[in-house]
Chains A and B, each alone.
Chain A
Amino acid sequence: MEPATFNLELAIEKYIGQIKNYGSITGSDAAELKAHLYDATDELKKSRLSDEEAFIIATKRLGTEQVLNHEYEKVNTSVKVNRIWAYLFLGFNLFYSFPALILIAVGGFYQVVYQTYHSSNFSVVIVTSLHILLIALVWMFVWHKKVISKFIENEVENSALRIVLLSFTPALILFLLPASKHQLFTLAYPVREFQSHIAEFSLYVLIMSAAVAALSLVFSLNKMENLVSKSLFEKPSILFLILLSIVVEVFAASTRVIRTDNILISGLIFGSIYAILSFLIAYYNKASDVNKFLVIASLFGLSIEIFVGIHADIERGDTYNTAYFVGGMLLGISAGRKLGLGMSRENITS
């Protein structure tokens, strides 16, 4: 008995669709394979097989999707080449045009908020919330990188032209905006109009988030695992540590916009950023490697703090800020190290 639900045409359509999803066959190849399945099932049905039985045998003889795609891939190199170009265009738009448009939109947003609410507390709340929202978006993007890349892959396989053209929309808008060129470069300035350290600092956090997100995406390229802090910090590459050290130093230095009346507290806030870094390195690595990694990851910051800090102290005259910041940094590093090592040991024993 043949189930009434089996529809040969639909089944063939679906089967070829699956092969096509691999992306190594062209529309004409698909049509040819479809014609083959129709011929084969017709032939099989002559020996009194049902539609479904004929379909099963015909597809079995045709070969699995993997085998077919492997063979077609050797022939259809142009399909592959075109796909690479599609990804290049998409990459440009996703990582340049789209962020550029967002930056301009943020700049425009500042302007509107400033013109309406000036540098009031309310506008600080709005602007800071926007920054927090964008930070969340950046990390959501990294977190869901698998879903996003899967989506893009699907789109490229099925309708590459459409997604590539669509991805040019931000570039087109950028092109049409008359003032876009200078707004792009003076964007960091307008946030100061609100005269709020919180608003300014949250913008720095946003920028650093984007930098760390980009770093983590780049350095997870040759890693098999999902992107989690473990895959980045476990046995890190030296290059990663050096780049990270620059980002962390810039970020730690930007905490200075949070004005506290007490230099000691400023030093501690500064150090806390290094504590996080130190914790992550210590937590994910063997105790014997931790010191080496920590030195690499803090060398840049330490030298900047000492040289630039002393220079600034001399220029200002009677201040000893460097001592507080370097002290905070060293304290942060050793605290983070101790905590990280302690917690990872606990994990092993438990």
Chain B
Amino acid sequence: MASSLAPIVLMILRRQESYGYQIIQELREKSGNKLEVAEGTLYPVLKKMEAKDWIEGFWKKSEAGRERKYYQITTKGKQELEEQYSQLNFINELIYKLWNLPLSTSN
């Protein structure tokens, strides 16, 4: 699960900077509450992505005065997203084609 989250997180951050809780909310919303994953496991994924320089984290005070860690996508992250996007698309098409092949009736 963890590794497949990365491109999705990149897609969310491509549009605007965000913080962990908000990213999770967006995931939840866009998946129609179907994404069943322990919310906390997103943070190690973010950390790994930060270590790979795909995203950059920085602390910022929220309106309520609490510190939150915000993330924004980097140039490297954008390149990575494009690569992963075309790869995922390719796999997706392949799956679609294979799935729709007629079932063998030879035996």
Residues of A within 8 A of B (CB): 28-29, 31-33, 35-36, 38-40, 42-43, 61-64, 67-68, 71-72, 74-76
With A32-B20, A64-B38, A67-B38 as known contacts, state yes or no: A75 contacts B44, CB within 8 Å: yes
Residues of B within 8 A of A (CB): 2, 19-22, 25, 38-41, 43-45, 47-48, 51, 64, 66-69
Chain B residues contacting A32 (CB-CB under 8 Å) are 20, 43, 69
With A71-B2, A75-B47, A75-B48 as known contacts, state yes or no: A36 contacts B20, CB within 8 Å: yes
18 contacts between A and B (CB under 8 A): A32-B20, A33-B43, A35-B66, A36-B21, A39-B19, A39-B21, A39-B68, A43-B25, A62-B38, A62-B40, A68-B43, A71-B2, A71-B43, A72-B47, A74-B44, A74-B48, A75-B48, A75-B51
Chain B residues contacting A68 (CB-CB under 8 Å) are 38, 40-41, 43-44
A89 to chain B, nearest CB (A): 27
A56 to chain B, nearest CB (A): 14
With A35-B68, A40-B21 as known contacts, state yes or no: A71 contacts B39, CB within 8 Å: no
Contact B21 A71 (CB under 8 A): no
Contact among B2, B41, B45, B47 for A29, CB-based, below 8 A: B47
Contact A35 B39 (CB under 8 A): no
Chain A residues contacting B20 (CB-CB under 8 Å) are 32, 35-36
- Inter-chain CA distance A62–B41, complex, in Å, is 8
Question: Knowing that A61-B38, A74-B44 are A-B contacts, what are 4 other residue pairs whose CB atoms are under 8 Å apart, sorted by A's residue number?
Answer: A33-B43, A68-B43, A72-B43, A76-B47
B83 to chain A, nearest CB (A): 22
